[in-house]
Amino acid sequence: MRGTGAHNDDERRRTPVRLFNSLNRRLEVFTPMHGNAARVYTCGPTVYNYAHIGNLRAYLFADTLRRTLQWNGYDVTHVINITDVGHLTSDEDAGDDKVELAARSKKSSVYDITEKYTSAFFDDLEALNIRPAAMYPRATQHIQEIIEFIRVLDRRGYTYELKGGLYFDTSKVSNYGQLGALDLESQLAGARVAADPDKRQPWDFSLWRLSPPDGTRLMEWDSPWGKGFPGWHVECSVMSLKYLDGPFDIHTGGIDHRQVHHPNEMAQNQGYLGDSEPGARLWAHSEFLIMKDRKMSKSTGDFWRLSSLVDRGVHPLAYRLFLFQAHYRSQVDFSMEAVVAARVLLERILRRVAALVAEAGEDGAGLAMLSRQAASTTGGSYDYLRSCYEDGLGTAGQQAIREFAEAVSDDLGTPRALAVLSSVLSDQDIPALDALKVIGVFDLVLGLDLLTLDPRDLVIRPADAPLGNDDVEALVAARQQARAARDWQRADEARDRLTEAGVLVQDGTATVPTTWSWQIRD
């Protein structure tokens, strides 16, 4: 619904949104193709395994983009696909289908495999406070549309047949590889050598893979080219163009898609829509998360899930904050020390917010209630919430929002945005209620639940902790009682048990209560 506050569209969209376009390697002011509508497609997961914490960065980036566009008054339609067939273990059209390989190795049906990992993916998105997309179309639900799409390419002369299936002839489109800045000649001796020597060009790719002549696949369909299954790249062209009435505005994904998947997808779009039309006007990519000098990789088994962090006592929103501390186009070196530091920072922010709520009294409590109610809806109304938060806001608060807008609207500059948040939290000249209103406005983009999350929510018991939270509370209380009675031996015994269990206790004062937390271990 549209808000009816005092701000019209022009007033809300104070700062033009600039985004880095991978297609031409420069920043561009975002201008939607159709009125106020922003149509965004994100390449979703291949659901043969759990998403790792590096994968999830791409979806946090897309969520931040979506929130920033909505924050600036655009009506956003966001689509994320689910790849449940067709993604081979090699980008060069070789190897096994990842989903079928997982099903065979686990002795399970492909549909049980895809349902399990799709559900886990949705759980991760929810835990990270990533807004649900408008839809999550699945490749297996669009087989006939994929076949019809390929038939169009076939009729127009963009394809050729080999014994393994139907291939796309990349020589038929102009500027193939522009997105990845590929030097195709150098690729002849490099990583993209054709798995099939009969390809016309090594970088030509599969549109329809034929089933092996000596057996059947777990998932296969009849087609004009024989029984088989679609290539990985074609599904995204079909579903993005269908659900976003392509061509559309923005296509996002991880940086790993920029060199193979997205150039191939773009080539298909050119064949279908016309040689000058890549399908999306702007292509945007988030960088890798690096762990111990290695790229996160499910194929090597060297990856951490979001639950791996939670099992160590890390709240998912602490990981969200950790990622915000770097720009999405910068590689991030993962370490537990850095994640723990983000958790400490988040707790500090939440305690300052709690103090502001107490200082603002009933008005502060009412603002927190408004934020909780909005969080319980599917995204709430950005216009309505902004108008509520900004109503009656003083000059200093308005200036802070302008600075925040400049940060997030300049290619999603979350590090700068966090610096603005820090300034507001420490500025004693901003009245408590105004500070809370400003924080509420910021959090529409940040999604850290700053007005609703309690600092104690960050206290997560590690999976291997020898004590339960109730046991810890009892020991902390017993230690406090012993200290008050000057029974130092009993106090030391309680302290030792807490220390052995990995509990950190921060003794309070006459005005500050004693707090405790679990020590987060690597």
Going by the annotation, the residues of the binding site for Zn(2+) are 43, 236, 261, 265
497 vs 117, 286, 475, 478, 505, CA distance in Å? 39, 44, 8, 12, 12
How many residues belong to the chain? 522
Annotated binding site for ATP: 298
Q: DSSP string covering 130-199, please?
A: PPPPSB--BGGGGHHHHHHHHHHHHHTT-EEEETTEEEE-GGGSTTTTTTTT--HHHHTTSTT--SSTT-
- Cβ atoms within 10 Å of 419's Cβ, excluding its own: 13
Tokens of 376: 């319980």
Task: Show the CA angle centred on residue 250, arms to residues 245 and 256, nearest 5°.
Answer: 120
Contact 501, 465 (CB under 8 A): yes
Q: Which parts are annotated binding residues?
A: 43, 236, 261, 265, 298
Cα–Cα distance for residue pair 189/282, rounded to 1 Å: 30
Reference 312, options 121, 458, 494; nearest CA is 458
What does the alpha-carbon distance between residue 176 and residue 21 come to, in Å, rounded to a whole number? 17
Close Cβ partners of 327 (under 8 Å, ≥ 6 residues apart): 411, 412, 413, 414, 415
Range list of β-strands (E), 49-117: 75-80, 88-90, 94-97
DSSP code of 82?
B
CA 342 vs CA 314, 355, 450, 483: distances in Å: 10, 20, 14, 32
Structure token pair of residue 66: 């979506």
Measured distance CA(157)–CA(138) in Å, rounded: 28
Pick from 57, 72, 63: which is nearest to 17 by CA?
A: 72
Question: CB of 18 within 8 A of CB of 30?
Answer: yes
